[in-house]
Structure 1
Amino acid sequence: MKQTCLGLALVFTLSGTTGCSVVMASKQPNKKNTEMIQQGLSRNLVIAEFGAPITSEYKNGKRYEIYTFTQGYSTASKVGRAFWHGAADVATVGLWELLGTPAESVFNGKKMSYELIFDENDLLERYTYLTQDETK
């Protein structure tokens, strides 16, 4: 009787976590197009791609801004990962979640920061790559 209860508890616990890695993989952040950062780029296009800057100030007639974002994954990568997690869940009757969910927690994108300097017409004059969080 005790073994049956433990078995049922294990099945219930695993069935409650089945699919978590699939959902986590599909909800990872999208990949940002950092190759678009080139001299002459409009500030509006930068904001459309990376969101609002975390800081913005004027110095000597130029706008200095810092953009921080999480560099994510392409749609194909996210779909492939979600499919893999789903197949592994089925093949292992849910046991894959013991590895898949923590793996998706670790591989959730990299934090990146750029300082962008815009001229008086809000066109990109120059940029500096500041950081990339390697621990994430």
Structure 2
Amino acid sequence: MKKIFLFFGIAYLFYGCSVYMASKSEGMKPLEFQKNLAKCNNRTCVLLMGPKVISSTKHSDGTMTEEYRFAIDTGATSRAVMHGLLDVATIGIWEIAGTPIESSKQKNSYLFLKITYDKDENIIRTDIR
């Protein structure tokens, strides 16, 4: 009987972890990123989107090329709801499988972007990788 209480006690500690991990959102969805980028016409607008600058090269003709890294959002509401339903249906036991599954899905995904600016920091060319 003690083992059963211990098991449910440990399962309760993890209750909701997979739900939180599935709904956690960092960065932007790829389509949202493309829409926002299409609206940008200068360097300031791009930097306000929150990229990490990887490299910046100033050319002799006054143009500049910068490479950025954007985090891609991997959170999904539908996945979080499913984890929540499975938690309730299994009285928290699902967390034993759900948390490691979500932990393995939480690998960071990135989108890389190379932008060339003119001397006034207006966008000339964009390359998405």
Percent identity between matched residues is: 28
Structure-2 change in CA distance of 1:112 and 1:40 (3 Å): closer
TM-score, with length taken from structure 2: 0.80
Shift of 1:53: 1.6
Q: Which runs of 5+ in 1 are unaligned?
A: 131-136
Aligned to 2:11: 14
Aligned to 1:59: 59
Shift of 1:92: 0.9
Distance 1:57 1:30 in 2: 25
Instruction: Say if 2:42 is the partner of 1:45.
Output: no
Deviations 1:16-55 (A, max 9, x none): 0010011112223242433244597221121111334232
Runs of 4+ in 1 over 6 A off after TM superposition: none
TM-score, with length taken from structure 1: 0.76
Aligned to 1:133: none
CA RMSD of superposed structures (Å): 2.3
**Which amino acid in structure 2 is aligned with residue 7 of structure 1?**
I
Give the number of equivalent residue pairs.
124
Shift of 1:127: 2.1
**Which amino acid in structure 2 is aligned with residue 72 of structure 1?**
D
